[in-house]
Structure 1
């Protein structure tokens, strides 16, 4: 069986150890020859890479781990790129969250003004990596985790429409893992789901078991009382901010009890409540810096100093971590697995903009995703989605045209922002904060 070469773009990420371990642990279905790490920040990547080289040497000596800041070295002779870029790192994420909060507007990394700011930084980074892949390994596929996925997907579809990139998000998979726990199933793969929306902006309309039995009534009964706060081990180890998010799903569900909502909808539907409960001086970024960021790098240095990883391991994360391996296997081995992916609408949702990038179930094989038709959608969801997709399109317009006006319009149109006046104040601060990360706006 062929052994694959995979490049992890964003090698200095705290998620890199988990991705590498997940890949190594799934070699029975996705054999590996080499994992290459690529990052343009050598100092950040080096401890992660060196620790993972030791880990691989001690546990999976048949697989090579290499790392570089050189695109030619990192992207030549590869089969897949798994991209997880965070342009501006956590310093910029903190500004994405705290600048809007000054104006009592949602401060979140993928939603509202913070997501728009992050999107304006991410577009160039993702396009750069995509171009490297196509230059050095034109037959490879890029599986892109980089946020904000909705804006990145819109940008890559318009700027590189023929590229072999699939934009993905594991949040629906994480929620489906919770559904499986609520239902007493061993795995989310025991369910068939129908879902539609935009990334971080969607709804489940049907969940059945493999025999076709409807599982929605039992789920709805639970969600109406507890949201998605299932008493699983994963839930118990979550930060309080995540626990609050899972509980809030109860209120979002109440708006449309015919469907089950993506957790991120809370930022658009309960903006005032979210802001009222935020600590404006200690946001999610600070929480991550004090925990995950600190812990992962400390463990990396511990492995390097000991020159051993026999008794040290990084947590691979929650059960949905294998999602990206499922996707790689579907492409490599034409498995036709059913997965939620972000694709051009093109009639999938028949009463919605055909050019919009929507998140829907797809059958995945060697030629990429084949979306399943969703038919028409109700007025409530359609109206919300039309507003949000217009925001995403305006952001990409602003990036491509260097247009201050278009970005102001995008912020004004976001359901998280109360007025054009507030939008302008936030925009002007974001421009100053982002400096060279953004194109010059005129």
Structure 2
């Protein structure tokens, strides 16, 4: 019987995860799920934990749900640890998205300055969790869903006390399902060769029943149906059809921030006037969700959760755990150590690629060189990520400034310094590594 520990158990996503384990109980005999959170998340933990217990009871499966604020108690003897936490809660995300806009720069949760600061806050906490895992469950797999998933996973690979870590994002599975819907077929008939970085991943080739249909899919994407492929949390502004044909590979929705920077910035500025930044929208969505979750008669995952932007999370997370446990050797897209999988990226860096999932973990499928059209942007983002991770671990102000400046969404070194200083002050409570020593 298996023990699962979920760090950030009070998340609005937790019902998705519980549903995933319930659906797979016959192949994944989970006996105990420990949901752990911090004091500030106690109320949400109790609400979502009560819903989880009702879901398990309705399903009639013998899974015990435990709620705790003691991380070490949750980790003791765990077989799998899943992480889905947000340092500074949604208030920190509001700052990540609002402050860059003051300087005419996109504010986004995992890209640009916002992504940098989410990494700076999150990586030290994740490395602390790894220290606890090394003590209390050294053989457990760490399944990281915490954003920015690629950077957080790489930080563990390079600096963590545990090495059995896999980064996970719902975007590849979401894309596969959406492409299948557009093609009018079942998802299992579609195979996409994904390669790149988290939120910077490309579909190099799309296959239907083994036949390469990449050009057909790109034709659809260049037409009027691209909204069928996008995600809830990123505006669908359409693509320039000739650009998509020229690119020759399938972009992900996050590429809009890089290929449509001005349009996305204008869209954000307009949205701020109407409903606030995305984090403020999510705050309202979460408030509504938790009101739903409180209903003692609710004993299933409510469909409203899909508006939150995390659709297919349970399928991604639970499929991965089930495949490791059962040595299924199926192919999934995850964040793993590169080890030569993509040419030109350091071996110890995290990449997002298709892997064969075995009982010993993911075995990456060799990619080689990325197409010239996309390699440069991927390399620039990887330089940003590696520098940002070093800044997070060391608290080095100059590393943080360098990371901010080389990010393609930041237009100059001067603006980079202004945003950095503003955001360091705004997030001071969650960045002790930068304030334990003087910086200039």
Q: What TM-score do you get using the length of structure 1 for normalisation? A: 0.90
Say if 1:51 and 1:131 are closer, same or farther in 2 by CA, change over 3 A.
Answer: same
Q: Residue 276 of structure 1 corresponds to which residue in structure 2? A: 266
Q: Is the 8 A contact 2:54 2:298 kept in 1?
A: yes
Q: Residue 199 of structure 1 corresponds to which residue in structure 2? A: 198
Distance 2:280 2:242 in 1: 26
Q: Is the 8 A contact 1:253 1:260 kept in 2?
A: no
Deviation at 1:251, TM superposition (A): 6.2
Distance 1:420 1:347 in 2: 32
2:291 to 281, 285, 298: 298
SS in structure 2 opposite 1:383?
helix
Q: Does 1:180 align with 2:180?
A: yes
Distance 1:286 1:254 in 2: 32
Distance 1:18 1:392 in 2: 29
2:390 to 397, 401, 413: 397
SS in structure 2 opposite 1:202?
strand
Deviation at 1:255, TM superposition (A): 7.1
Q: Residue 30 of structure 1 corresponds to which residue in structure 2? A: 28
Say if 1:228 and 1:175 are closer, same or farther in 2 by CA, change over 3 A.
Answer: farther
Say if 1:300 and 1:268 are closer, same or farther in 2 by CA, change over 3 A.
Answer: same
Q: Residue 287 of structure 1 corresponds to which residue in structure 2? A: 281
Distance 1:130 1:161 in 2: 5
Q: Is the 8 A contact 1:226 1:250 kept in 2?
A: no
Deviation at 1:53, TM superposition (A): 2.0
SS in structure 2 opposite 1:74?
helix
Say if 1:63 and 1:253 are closer, same or farther in 2 by CA, change over 3 A.
Answer: farther
1:225 to 215, 223, 226: 223
Distance 1:378 1:300 in 2: 46
Say if 1:162 and 1:66 are closer, same or farther in 2 by CA, change over 3 A.
Answer: closer
Q: Residue 10 of structure 2 corresponds to which residue in structure 1? A: 12
Distance 1:417 1:343 in 2: 27
Say if 1:190 and 1:295 are closer, same or farther in 2 by CA, change over 3 A.
Answer: same
SS in structure 2 opposite 1:45?
helix
Deviation at 1:13, TM superposition (A): 0.6
Q: Residue 121 of structure 1 corresponds to which residue in structure 2? A: 121
1:411 to 404, 408, 416: 404
SS in structure 2 opposite 1:417?
coil
Q: Residue 264 of structure 1 corresponds to which residue in structure 2? A: 254
Q: Does 1:65 align with 2:65?
A: yes
Distance 1:161 1:340 in 2: 24
Q: Deviations over 1:377-398 (max 9, x none)?
A: 2333221112111111111111
Structure 1 segment 416-431 matched on structure 2, within 5 A: 416-431=409-424
2:214 to 216, 219, 222: 216
SS in structure 1 opposite 2:343?
coil
Which stretch has the larger CA shift, 350-359 or 39-48? 350-359
Q: Deviations over 1:171-213 (max 9, x none)?
A: 11111111110111122x2222212111101211112134x21
> Which stretches in structure 1 are left out of the alignment for 5+ residues?
none
Q: Is the 8 A contact 1:122 1:152 kept in 2?
A: yes
Structure 1 runs of 4+ off > 6 angstroms?
Answer: none
Deviation at 1:341, TM superposition (A): 1.3
Q: Is the 8 A contact 1:394 1:406 kept in 2?
A: yes
- Give the total of aligned pairs: 424
SS in structure 1 opposite 2:331?
strand
2:302 to 314, 323, 327: 314
SS in structure 1 opposite 2:211?
coil
SS in structure 2 opposite 1:359?
strand
Q: Is the 8 A contact 1:252 1:266 kept in 2?
A: no
Which stretch has the larger CA shift, 399-408 or 222-231? 222-231
Distance 1:258 1:160 in 2: 37
Q: Deviations over 1:289-343 (max 9, x none)?
A: 122x01221022222xxxx445x64337445631111100111111111111112
Q: Deviations over 1:90-129 (max 9, x none)?
A: 0000000000011110110000000001011110222222
Q: Deviations over 1:19-38 (max 9, x none)?
A: 11221122122222111101
Deviation at 1:226, TM superposition (A): 2.6
Q: What TM-score do you get using the length of structure 2 for normalisation? A: 0.91
Q: Is the 8 A contact 2:6 2:34 kept in 1?
A: yes
> Which stretches in structure 2 are left out of the alignment for 5+ residues?
none
Q: Deviations over 1:230-250 (max 9, x none)?
A: 29xxx8xx75x54x33x5355
Q: Deviations over 1:30-54 (max 9, x none)?
A: 2221111011232331222123223
Say if 1:75 and 1:320 are closer, same or farther in 2 by CA, change over 3 A.
Answer: closer
